[in-house]
Amino acid sequence: MSLYAAYAGNLDARLMTRRAPHSPLRATGWLNGWRLTFGGEQLGWDGALATLVEEPGEQVFVALYDIAPMDEESLDRWEGVGLGIYRRLRVRVHTLEGEEPAWVYVLNAYEGGLPSARYLGEIADAAESAGAPHDYVMELRKRPC
Contact by Cβ (8 Å): 39, 49: yes
Query: What is the Cα–Cα distance from 110 to 20, expressed in whole angstroms?
Result: 28
Alpha-carbon distance 32 to 45, whole Å?
30
The catalytically annotated residue of 79, 100, 111, 128 is 79
What three-state secondary structure class fits 33? strand
128 catalytic? Reply is no
The annotation status of 86 as a binding-site residue, yes or no, is no
Q: Is 121 helix (H, G, I), strand (E, B) or coil?
A: helix
* Neighbour count for residue 87 (Cβ, 10 Å): 15
Which residues are part of the catalytic machinery?
79
Specify binding-site residues for substrate.
Answer: 119
Specify binding-site residues.
Answer: 119
